[in-house]
Structure 1
Amino acid sequence: MNTFVFTAYLLSQPKLTKIKHQNFCYLLVSLNNFMDNIANIKIKVFTKGKIARQVFDLYKEKNNVIIESSIYIKKTRFLNKNQKKSKIIFVKIHKIQNIYLNL
């Protein structure tokens, strides 16, 4: 398992869904990038179980957070003439903490 710790800015309100008595939470985040010539990266992250409920209850759009997660890469094939392959990156949240900024 790959551990991935990063600071992020929440771009969307967390969305909670329940499938077979299991909570899932999805949201869109922007990875903060401190290099001048590269734009911030937008990714979709998800979590499940008790952490999904915590994310949905405690965090709002425009929060800055620190996320400890793992990365999964899933390869898919499109069923068309070209038989193209693509990779989808999933980030699963394990722990999340709010960053409080005093301005």
Structure 2
Amino acid sequence: MNARHVLVIALLALAALFIAWFAPHPSPVAELVVFAFPPLALAMGALRRMRTAPFWAGVLGLAWFSHGVMVAWSRPAERGFALAEVALALVVIFSASLPGLRARFAKKKA
């Protein structure tokens, strides 16, 4: 399994997490559009091998990480969802960055 597959799986899991987290709210449309749609769109972009999808997944991964830490710290009732968001955000960031890290630190042929 390569980094792109891990990225797609993590993005889909993150979207499923947001759907489970926000769907029971009385008015979930705005939350689902803001939180669940971006990882779904990025997963589709990564599946279609769009070159910018991993970059934007990594950028948004930093925002998801920050959001998860903030919610875990401030809302104990939602801590489980928030810590899952933090873990998935770290997987997204790492899997989006892995191809570039491999290229950067690969041994150069003499």
More helix by share: 2
TM-score, normalized by length of structure 1?
Answer: 0.27
TM-score, normalized by length of structure 2?
Answer: 0.26
More strand by share: 1
**Higher RCO (CA 8 Å, separation ≥ 6 residues):** 2
